[in-house]
Amino acid sequence: MSDAASTPAPEGADRPAAAFFDVDNTVIRGASAYHLARELYRRRFFGTADLLRFAWIQARYVAFGESKDQIDTVRERALALIAGRSVAEVTAVGEEVYDTVLELRIFPGTKRLLDEHIAAGDQVWLVTATPVEIGRLIARRLGATGCLGTVAEHKEGYYTGRLLGDLMHGGVKAQAVRELAEREGLDLEASYAYGDSLNDLEMMHAVGHPCPINPDVRLRRHARDVGWPIREFRGRRQRVAGRSVRTASWAGAAWVVGLVARAVRRQVRRRLEMR
């Protein structure tokens, strides 16, 4: 899951520090995968039936919250959708999405913080559930060291529809950070970790300097309880919208419903024209 291939530093040597950044709502406003999915839908990687399935999953998320079964369902369906597609094709779509959408949604405050770590000589890693190819693309554009992301298996340049390892989510993030630190000889006690939700909590506990950025209600409460510093880079309007996961979820669901409705209207018009 790492871009690195170096050996640990010799015992007793000064070990470098690192800064680990979650991506969605920490570096980039909103979900990067949402914008990638929109472009993949436009290019007919999947159809209306798939949108309906995701709308049902979204509705369950709004009603009952996130669960392991739900994460597994999304993961398996997403892998099935890209099976047989080329890595180059998906990466090219990611490049376009970054240039036209994601670059405009980067929080300036987070970018300044990231640049400060680079200037200080720290390694800077993105840690995200987003496919590692997309995460590496974002890391390159930001000048970061690399990305720890979800790895979809591919053979001879084409996705197989299977996952290598686990989704980069929750405790898996902390595990990946510790494994990277061992390979790179990083000093985790001197390192920093930034995230926006409890999904990033274990990763932040793995370093000496945890700092929530744009935290949700539960992470903000935890940070205050344990005395962590909090960085807020959202404007007032964005903070109000971000106070509830349900707000973002219903926004995503509305987008899906809108797409389905438009698709249905087009089908009805075609049938009427054929009469």
**Which position among 14, 24, 69, 166 bears the catalytic label?**
24
Distance CA 74, CA 58 (A): 10
Q: How many CA atoms lie within 13 A of 149 on its CB side?
A: 23
Q: Is 187 a catalytic residue?
A: no
* H-run or E-run covering 151: strand 146-155
Distance CA 92, CA 10 (A): 40
Task: Judge contact between 243 and 217, C-beta under 8 A.
Answer: yes
Distance CA 110, CA 115 (A): 9
**Which position among 3, 14, 22, 50 bears the catalytic label?**
22
Distance CA 116, CA 196 (A): 19
Inter-axis angle of helices 32-42 and 87-100, to 10 degrees?
110
Distance CA 10, CA 79 (A): 40
Report how far Cα 213 is from the mean position of its chain's Cα atoms: 14
Beta strands 158-164 and 192-195 are unpaired
Distance CA 270, CA 98 (A): 35
Distance CA 50, CA 152 (A): 19
Distance CA 201, CA 44 (A): 36
Q: Is 22 a catalytic residue?
A: yes
User: Hey, how many other C-beta atoms are within 10 angstroms of the C-beta on 74?
Assistant: 19
Q: Point out the residues that are catalytic.
A: 22, 24
